[in-house]
């Protein structure tokens, strides 16, 4: 791990009119670290993730990002073009619903290859070979390379979305309920796959989930949200095995329906 945080988040708040989306969030994310954001529905997880990934502008606060050149930049003071460039090169975003992160009517190979072309790769043979390698890495048979994702199962679509995001070698991946829409048996396999890839690639990731088992399996550290506020954060094992806040204790003991 590098000795500089990848993200420095300070005093981040997002209000929708008078309604709190998230409030006064502060943390640092380190290279290679997986952070889970947990909490019941409506607690502000998606709002926070969308602010961090600049899909949403916060009302107050700053997020400093450690650029590849070594300097820090405030994400909210970048131009739209710079942000788009980061999203294409340094970041991935895995949506809960794969249809939101894929192009459903172009081939699986093109879904992966497109991201390579977006960063300047123009060699058709290389693009196809890399796309094919990535299909294999996410356990999609390469003879499906010319099929469209609309012909795939939910689990395959989600694995394709992951390949599309990781093919460009991002440093940071945002995931919103990555296993949310899948059958339990498919979830377990996908989680294993994601955990393996994140480890192998040394990725940093921020994973939103209402499922504490997902947080347990994937994350090093977690933040618990309630009514837009982070009420507890710490190492995942510590928070789950020895929760300090009464609300977290309820969550962990599954008394709350999340």
Ligand X SMILES: Nc1ncnc2c1ncn2[C@@H]1O[C@H](COP(=O)(O)OP(=O)(O)O)[C@@H](O)[C@H]1O
Asked whether position 46 contacts Mg ion by CB under 5 A, the answer is yes
Q: Is 115 exposed, middle or buried (0-12, 13-18, 19+ CB in 10 A)?
A: buried
Asked whether position 43 contacts Mg ion by CB under 5 A, the answer is no
What is the Cα–Cα distance from 246 to 68, expressed in whole angstroms? 41
State the number of binding residues for ligand X (CB under 6 A). 11
**Which entry of ligand X, Mg ion, none binds 124, CB below 5 to 8 A by partner kind?**
none
- Category of 66 on φ-ψ map: left (φ > 0), alpha (ψ -120 to 50) or beta: beta
In the chain, what is the straight-line distance between the N-terminal and C-terminal CA atoms, in Å? 34
The 10 Å CB-count burial string (b at 16+, else e) for 11-43 is ebbbeeeeebbbbebebebbbbbbbbbbbbeeb
- Which residue lies nearest Mg ion, judged by its C-beta? 46
Nearer to ligand X, 190 or 223 (CB): 223
Choosing from 18, 19, 68, 122, the residue that interacts with ligand X (CB under 6 A) is: 19
Choosing from 21, 92, 109, 178, the residue that interacts with ligand X (CB under 6 A) is: 21
* Phi, psi for 233 (deg, rounded to 5): -145, 155
What is the Cα–Cα distance from 92 to 168, expressed in whole angstroms? 9
Stretch that binds ligand X, among 38-46, 84-92, 103-111, 187-195 (CB under 6 A): 38-46
Closest CA to 201 of 159, 163, 170, 156: 170
Instruction: Give min distance, CB of 47 to Mg ion, in A.
Output: 8
Q: Taking CB under 6 A as the criterion, which residues in 39-98 touch ligand X?
A: 39, 41-47
Asked whether position 124 contacts ligand X by CB under 6 A, the answer is no
Instruction: Give min distance, CB of 225 to ligand X, in A.
Output: 7
Instruction: Give min distance, CB of 53 to ligand X, in A.
Output: 13
Site of interaction with Mg ion (CB under 5 A): 46
Site of interaction with ligand X (CB under 6 A): 16, 19, 21, 39, 41-47
């Amino acid at each position: 791990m590098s000795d500089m945080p990848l993200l420095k988040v300070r005093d981040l708040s997002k209000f929708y009119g008078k309604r709190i989306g998230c409030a006064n969030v502060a943390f640092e994310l380190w290279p290679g670290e997986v952070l889970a954001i947990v909490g019941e529905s409506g607690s502000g997880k998606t709002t926070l993730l969308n602010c961090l990934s600049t899909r949403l502008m916060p009302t107050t606060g700053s997020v400093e990002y450690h650029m590849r050149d070594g300097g820090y930049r405030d994400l909210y003071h970048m131009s739209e073009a710079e942000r788009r460039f980061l999203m294409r090169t340094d970041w991935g975003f895995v949506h809960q619903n794969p249809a939101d992160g894929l192009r459903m009517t172009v081939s699986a190979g093109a879904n992966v290859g497109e991201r390579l072309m977006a960063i300047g790769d123009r060699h058709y043979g290389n693009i196809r070979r890399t796309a094919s390698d990535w299909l294999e890495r996410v356990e999609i048979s390469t003879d499906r390379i010319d099929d469209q994702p609309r012909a795939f199962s939910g689990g395959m679509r989600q694995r394709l979305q992951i390949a599309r995001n990781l093919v460009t070698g991002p440093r940071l991946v945002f995931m919103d309920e990555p296993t949310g829409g899948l059958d339990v048996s498919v979830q377990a396999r996908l989680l294993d796959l994601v955990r393996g890839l994140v480890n192998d690639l040394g990725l940093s990731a921020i994973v939103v989930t209402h499922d504490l088992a997902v947080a347990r399996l994937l994350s090093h550290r977690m933040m618990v949200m309630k009514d837009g506020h982070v009420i507890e954060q710490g190492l995942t094992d510590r928070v789950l095995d020895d929760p300090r806040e009464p609300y977290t204790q309820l969550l962990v003991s599954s008394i709350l329906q999340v």
